[in-house]
């Protein structure tokens, strides 16, 4: 006998769960706690018995008519040789797979995949810092969005939240890391468009008041002026080496010949001259080695590359390079300290890995080098990067077209 809505409403709980049959395999289970649920019993295509839940009974949402409709659909599947339980399982798996695909191809999903790919080459502290920046300043605002669906304007709003805190260095690094994620996504086929590529000009940057620097467009004129400088060959060479290596002025001025392996194109800076008192390896481009050979012909007989002209046992004055800059007409527009900033900006703009750049410029904080500090980290990559940069400068000086990395 088929069930009626009134019969269902009047059914009361008993000590144990009992069922009321509606026919066609459909039953209403009345549980001891007073709740009610639907159950469909059936015989599988292979002859075995099985049952499948059709949900909790609710007069308005999942009442008798709804349960009968579900039963009829399941009976139709059985007539087609389909096991409803297996079909439901496969449907759930398909939904889960779709959801996982959405998550995987979201910006957050791609960023986490990129991070997992890159982090084995990073220190634990640096990897943690990168992910923390994503989780704090990026993921909350693009969560669940497919990476290809986020528009440049939306990214601009995200970055301006960081900009509004005047956290300009964090903004620069975070934007660069997001750009690296897009490069990875493009390479893996997740997106074809880098929505961050052209945002730099719309964001504020903080320029150093103490150490002014040149931007790429200003370099050709400066390089040609330096090339024609006919003053002290030593201070001219020191200026060139600061540009080609990105080191601090003290690290270069007090450099000793014993630190250099010109055949191996490598400079091992004495840790005592480093700001953080850590060993620092500087790979040398062909252009840098050529300048060093010129310097060796002048001072190779002594200990220092750039001895003070009044006392050869002391290094060149800190004002020497700035004097060259002033004589070239760049006083107030550039200092010796500004060359590393110019290098950093150009290398970042040409999509070199920020980790390589930070290591090259020795801008590595205590979190990045947590544990054992490997001062030779990314040495071969930095060698390629500095050679590219030297070729880039050479191309600018000669007026040649310069290609991105």
pLDDT at 390 over 90: yes
pLDDT at position 283, please? 94
Higher-confidence position of 366 and 269: 269
Q: What is the largest CA-CA distance in the chain?
A: 115
pLDDT at position 265, please? 95
- Lookup result for tokens 């006392």: 311
Lowest mean pLDDT among 57-61, 67-71, 77-81, 266-270: 57-61
- Lookup result for tokens 């159950």: 39
pLDDT at position 324, please? 93
Nearest one of 33, 37, 90, 32 to 66, comparing CA atoms: 37
- Chain Cα centroid distance, residue 253: 35
Higher-confidence position of 384 and 279: 384
What's the rounded mean pLDDT across residues 35-61? 90
Helices then strands, each counted (H, E), the chain: 16, 7
**What values do phi and psi take at 159, rounded to 5?**
-65, -30
* Structural contact between residues 33 and 24, judged by C-beta atoms closer than 8 angstroms: no
What is the percentage of the chain residues whose pLDDT exceeds 70? 90
What's the rounded mean pLDDT across residues 174-187? 91
What's the rounded mean pLDDT across residues 72-99? 82
pLDDT at position 371, please? 33
pLDDT at position 139, please? 92
pLDDT category at 199 given cuts 50, 70, 90 is confident
Burial of 192 (0-12, 13-18, 19+ CB in 10 A): exposed
Nearest one of 342, 305, 328, 358 to 231, comparing CA atoms: 328
Per DSSP, helices labelled H in 164-232 are 168-187, 219-227
pLDDT category at 237 given cuts 50, 70, 90 is very high
pLDDT category at 366 given cuts 50, 70, 90 is very low
Instruction: Collapse the DSSP code of 28 into the 3-class scheme (helix H, G, I; strand E, B; otherwise coil) and give the result.
Output: strand
Cβ atoms < 10 Å from Cβ of 201: 6
Please report how the helices 124-137 and 168-187 are oriented relative to each other, as an axis angle in degrees rounded to 10: 100
- Lookup result for tokens 């320029």: 207
pLDDT category at 106 given cuts 50, 70, 90 is confident
What is the percentage of the chain residues whose pLDDT exceeds 90? 46
Task: Show Cβ contacts of residue 225 under 8 Å, excluding neighbours closer than 6 positions.
Answer: 328, 329, 330
Give me the long-range contacts of 299-302 (CB less than 8 A, separation at least 24). 299/234, 299/257, 300/257, 302/257
pLDDT category at 206 given cuts 50, 70, 90 is low
pLDDT at 367 over 60: no
pLDDT tens, 116-162? 998 888 777 678 888 988 999 999 998 778 888 899 999 999 998 88
The model's pTM: 0.50
pLDDT category at 240 given cuts 50, 70, 90 is very high
pLDDT at position 90, please? 81
Mean pLDDT of the chain: 86
pLDDT at position 372, please? 33
Per DSSP, helices labelled H in 233-353 are 233-245, 249-253, 286-299, 319-327, 338-349
pLDDT category at 355 given cuts 50, 70, 90 is confident
pLDDT tens, 212-230? 889 888 999 999 999 999 9
| DSSP-assigned beta bridge partners for residue 30 | 18, 36
- Which secondary-structure segment (H or E) carries 266? strand 266-269
pLDDT at position 102, please? 61
What's the rounded mean pLDDT across residues 272-295? 85
Cα separation, 53 vs 345, whole angstroms = 62
Nearest one of 136, 135, 137, 115 to 126, comparing CA atoms: 115
Cα separation, 32 vs 375, whole angstroms = 70
pLDDT at position 165, please? 78
pLDDT at position 277, please? 60
Domains and CATH numbers, the chain: 5-93 (3.30.160.390), 107-202 (1.10.150.130), 216-398 (1.10.443.10)
pLDDT at position 91, please? 77
What's the rounded mean pLDDT across residues 345-349? 88
pLDDT at position 97, please? 62
Per DSSP, helices labelled H in 28-106 are 64-79, 84-104
- Using alpha carbons, list the distances in angstroms from residue 231 to 221, 225, 326, 329: 18, 12, 12, 14
pLDDT at 177 over 50: yes
| DSSP-assigned beta bridge partners for residue 307 | 315
């Amino acid at each position: 006998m088929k069930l009626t809505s009134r019969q269902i409403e009047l059914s009361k709980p008993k000590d144990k769960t009992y069922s009321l049959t509606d026919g066609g395999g459909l039953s209403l289970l009345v549980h001891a706690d007073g709740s009610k649920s639907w159950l469909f019993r059936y015989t599988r295509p292979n002859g075995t018995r099985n049952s499948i839940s059709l949900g909790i009974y609710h007069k308005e949402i999942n009442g008798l008519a709804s349960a009968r409709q579900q039963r009829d659909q399941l009976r139709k599947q059985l007539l087609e040789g389909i096991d409803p339980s297996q079909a439901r399982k496969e449907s759930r798996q398909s939904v889960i797979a779709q959801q996982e695909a959405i998550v995987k191809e979201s910006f957050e999903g791609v960023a986490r995949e990129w991070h997992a790919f890159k982090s084995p080459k990073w220190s634990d502290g640096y990897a943690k810092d990168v992910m923390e920046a994503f989780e704090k300043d990026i993921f909350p605002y693009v969560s669940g969005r497919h990476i290809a669906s986020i528009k440049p304007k939306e990214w601009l709003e995200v970055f301006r939240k960081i900009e509004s805190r005047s956290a300009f260095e964090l903004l620069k690094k975070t934007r660069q890391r997001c750009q690296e994620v897009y490069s990875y996504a493009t390479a893996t086929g997740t997106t074809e468009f880098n929505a961050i590529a052209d945002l730099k000009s719309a964001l504020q940057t903080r320029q150093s008041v103490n150490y002014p620097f040149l931007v790429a467009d200003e370099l050709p004129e400066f390089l040609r002026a330096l090339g024609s400088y006919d003053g002290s060959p030593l201070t001219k060479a020191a200026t060139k080496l600061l540009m080609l290596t990105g080191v601090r002025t003290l690290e270069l001025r007090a450099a000793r010949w014993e630190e250099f392996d010109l055949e191996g194109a490598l400079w091992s800076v004495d840790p005592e001259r480093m700001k953080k008192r850590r060993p620092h390896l500087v790979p040398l481009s062909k252009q840098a080695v050529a300048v060093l050979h010129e310097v060796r012909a002048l001072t190779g007989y002594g200990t220092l590359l750039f001895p003070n002209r009044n006392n050869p046992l002391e290094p060149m004055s800190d004002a020497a390079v700035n004097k060259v800059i002033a004589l070239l007409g760049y006083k107030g527009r550039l200092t010796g300290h500004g060359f590393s900033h110019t290098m950093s900006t150009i290398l970042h703009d040409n999509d070199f890995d920020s980790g390589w750049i930070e290591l090259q410029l020795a801008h590595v904080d205590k979190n990045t080098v947590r544990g054992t500090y490997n001062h030779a980290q990314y040495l071969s990559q930095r060698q390629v990067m500095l050679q590219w940069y030297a070729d880039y400068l050479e191309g600018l000086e000669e007026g040649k077209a310069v290609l991105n990395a």
